Amino acid sequence: MTTAQNKIALVTGGSRGLGKETALKLAQRGNNVIITYNSKAAEAAEVVAVIEKLGRKAAALQLDVSKVHSFDTFSQALSTLLKDKFATDHFDFLINNAGMGLVVPSFVATTEAMFDEMMNIHFKGVFFLIQKLLPLLHDGGSITNLSTGLTRFTYPGSGTYASMKSAMETLTQYLARELGGRGIRVNIVAPGPVPTDFSGGLIRSNPHVQDAIRSNTALQRLATPDDIAGVIAFLCSDDAKWVTAQRIEASGGIHL
């Protein structure tokens, strides 16, 4: 296992939003960070630059998590990067953050193409990316998956997205059991609504939606990406060394 000062986190979808905040939080806590991006190369480079200013090593790799056929190439690129920039063969923490939302008018309005896109991004892609990267993940490391509060409470039109996240919650428990022999902890964080550009900035740009969220949240405010990133960073720390197979909802107590 690498020393505390040299641990490496891989954050998918780390160029913006929650992924960016998570990458920065992990760097602030002393980790080196690799992020992936789909199309936002310039934004990813900016995140890398900020992390390097914090005194940590950082890099960005392109990855479309919906394209399982590309994972061999990605794994090879990651392996090369680990050797060339970080002088190691393995990394320590995998955070499966990359994704996009889907809100449709109703269940019957959901098309097969929409369903397949959600499945490929949020379940199939994550499933096979973990499988592909396991040989590069240190024994004693951790995997943190991302779910949603929508697996506990419901909003019409979000059933497809939430169903894929429910599948990830089940997979998380199975992975925790199967990878426990390697000392790898596997948990899943379920954020409540966060006003980022997720789902086209639906929450961020709609004051009426924001007011409704506040009125239904025990802590009576909107979340910030930092509220969620801190939970993820905790799960990547030694303070969470006895935490595995857990769904941790970070929602401020919405819809209690």
| Distance separating alpha carbons of residues 256 and 233, to the nearest angstrom | 25
Give the pLDDT mean for 20-41. 97
For the residues of 48-78, what is the DSSP string, one character each? HHHHHHTT--EEEEE--TT-GGGHHHHHHHH
Residues annotated as catalytic are 161
Instruction: Say which amino acid occupies 149.
Output: G
159-176 core/surface letters (b: 16 or more CB in 10 A; e: else):
bbbbbbbbbbeebbbebb
* Residue 160 CB partners (closer than 8 Å, separation 6+): 102, 104, 110, 114, 115, 118
| Distance separating alpha carbons of residues 132 and 74, to the nearest angstrom | 9
The CATH code of domain 4-244 reads: 3.40.50.720
Q: Which of 39, 38, 13, 163 is nearest to 102 (CA)?
A: 163
Query: What's the predicted TM-score (pTM) here?
Result: 0.94
Q: Is the pLDDT score of 200 beyond 70?
A: no
pLDDT one-digit tens code per residue, 157-173 = 999 999 999 999 999 99
Q: What percent of the chain has pLDDT over 70?
A: 95
Element (H, E) at 209: helix 207-215
Q: Is the pLDDT score of 2 beyond 60?
A: no
What's the pLDDT at 196? 72
| Distance separating alpha carbons of residues 103 and 118, to the nearest angstrom | 11
Q: How confident is the model at residue 3 (pLDDT cuts 50, 70, 90)?
A: very low
Give the pLDDT mean for 173-190. 98
Give the pLDDT mean for 139-159. 96
Q: Is the pLDDT score of 4 beyond 60?
A: no
Helices (H), 12-124: 17-28, 41-53, 71-86, 112-119
Element (H, E) at 226: helix 225-235
Contact between residue 192 and residue 150 where contact means Cβ atoms under 8 Å apart: no
Element (H, E) at 207: helix 207-215
